[in-house]
Structure 1
Amino acid sequence: MSQPEMQPEGPPREKGGRRDRKDLTGRPFPLGDWGEPADRLDALYLWTEDGALRAADWYLRDRVAKRRGARALRLVTAAAVSVAGALPLLDLTGAWSGGAPWGYLALLLAAVCVGCDRYFGVTAGWMRDVATAQAIQRRLEALQFDWASESVREVLGPADGTASETAERCLGVLRRFHEDLTELVRSETADWMAEFRAGPAPHSTQTMVPWAAQRAEGPGQPGRFLLPPGRRPNMPRQRPPEPPR
């Protein structure tokens, strides 16, 4: 399964009047003259919205092949199981003498299809792509409403602060959306890598996850620093209470 590679490259190229969205590559930050803050904020919003649509489009395109593969594997599995159940009946009725042994071959084919689906994560990847694209769409809709709210506040509420505070608030909205979108893609990629960690994957792949969460230490788990056997923890000495005067 192919996964997004967050490696910065050049700006997306136009191919046939349509933006080339083969992978989730980085994009250059739109810089310019901040003499007109409103125009720069509008350009940043369009850049942010295009990035979200680009990410959702990548996952929707990636799910097409997985959906076809998952449906094909499930169709072959259902057909093989049906044939495996019908062949012994045909052998018992005499319609096809000696057809029962072929039922084992059909069962083997069904098991191979199920194993390929589980090992390569075809169905799981299809569902994960759909869920990620829907999550991106929900976050984009929230950003659109937040941006509209900020625009209305700027027009109707000039007493809410200075122009610099308004620009800083708008930049904060865009930055939080970028961080949320990046975290969503990172979580999806981590789930994809976890499938290979749980399966027969090399040990080097299992250790190359820099964002693996640390294990929480509960009340029944040992702490980070353990005492040697036979040692008691040193409690801080307390002054004896002074006698009342």
Structure 2
Amino acid sequence: MQPPGPPGGDVTRDLTGTPFPLGDWGEPAERLDELYRWVETNALRTAEWYLSDRVWKRRSARILRIGTAVGVIAGAALPLLDLTGVAEGTAGWGYLSLLLGAACMACDRYFGLTSGWIRDVATAQAVQRRLQALQFDWASESVREVLGPTEGTASEAAERCLGVLRRFSEDVTELVRAETADWMVEFRSGPAPLALQSVGVVPARAESSHPSGRFPLPPGTRPNMPRQRPPETR
């Protein structure tokens, strides 16, 4: 079971994945190699999707940040030139430039362009690091298979290989879920929206902050304690 190289050709840039490869397990080694290629291909597709998604976000964020910097500088310089008499009548243009700079900053924050491409890069790097760990784990299992009976039976070796592939797939899925939860948290204020709660989708930060599944009470509110019946007098 040797780890194959990266798949050639154009990789579909989406997160839909591919169907699970089903077939005859008459040759376990070939089936395990096929499963490894399927898992590796999905991981490479996920990493490439995030890297391609960050390109337009990064370009748009840079344009908006340049617009913010130019607007702030012009908004500060033109009124000063008007006061000193160097360029009279430019104070209005300065205020307009300052307003445009604030609008660029607001658009960047509202659409989450800067934070979005940073999250994309972080997620792609995390997937690549986990893929590298998988390749070393798979090489280790290949060495165990060569050693033969000293490392257990063939069924135990197959179970170990399947466990390595399953843990890797779960780790990649958790990375994507965590990135999606961060994106959801960025566009919400206060508790999670009711629409998300109704389908059981709660951002990760809310889950970690309140492990019991309850939301905090408003400030100044005392929790309601259940009433107890007074002891009966005999």
- Give 2:182's aligned residue: 191
Report % sequence identity: 66
Alignment of 1:49-128 (within 5 A): 49-128=40-119
Within the alignment, does 1:41 sit opposite 2:32 as a pair?
A: yes
Deviations 1:107-127 (A, max 9, x none): 111111111111110101010
1:182 aligns with 173
Check 1:232–1:83 CA distance in 2 against 1; reply closer, same or farther (3 A cut). farther
Structure 2 residue 163 is matched with structure 1 residue 168: no
Question: How far apart, in 1, do the equivalents of 2:28 and 2:228 lie?
Answer: 68
Q: Which shows bigger deviation, 109-118 or 89-98? A: 89-98
Q: Give, in whole Å, the separation in 2 of the partners of 1:84 and 1:97.
A: 14
What amino acid is aligned across from residue 228 of structure 1 in structure 2?
A: P
Decide which structure has greater helix share: 2
- State the TM-score, normalized to the length of structure 2: 0.82
Q: Which runs of 5+ in 1 are unaligned?
A: 1-16, 234-245
Q: 1:226 to 1:87 in 2, by over 3 A?
A: closer
2:153 paired with 1:155: no
Amino acid at match of 1:177: F
Unaligned runs of at least 5 residues, structure 2? 1-7, 218-222
Task: Please say which structure displays the higher CA radius of gyration.
Answer: 1
1:69 partner amino acid = S
* Residue number in structure 2 paired with 1:130: 121
Task: Letter of the 1:21 partner, please give it.
Answer: T
Q: 2:200 aligns with which of 191, 210, 213?
A: 210
Corresponding residue for 1:236?
none
Q: Secondary structure at the match of 2:187?
A: helix
RMSD of aligned alpha carbons: 2.5
Secondary structure (helix, strand or coil) at the match of 1:18 reads: coil
Out of 137, 143, 148, which is 1:146 matched to? 137
* Residue aligned with 1:198, SS: coil
User: Which portions of structure 1, spanning 4 or more consecutive aligned residues, are displaced by more than 6 angstroms?
Assistant: none
* 1:194 Cα offset (Å): 1.5
In 2, the alpha carbon distance for the partners of 1:226 and 1:91 equals 63
Partners of 1:172 and 1:205 in 2: how far apart? 36
1:22 positional shift: 3.2
Cα contact 1:197–1:206 (8 A) shared by 2: no
Q: 1:230 to 1:31 in 2, by over 3 A?
A: closer
In the alignment of these two chains, the number of paired residues is 210
Cα deviation, residue 207, structure 1: 3.1
CA contact (8 A) 2:13 2:48 kept: no
CA shift, 1:20, in A, is: 4.7
Offset of residue 162 of structure 1: 0.7
Can you list the C-alpha shifts for 1:13-45, whole angstroms capped at 9, x where unaligned? xxxx83352320031111112111111111110
Is the Cα–Cα contact under 8 Å of residues 134 and 168 in structure 2 kept in the other structure? Answer: yes
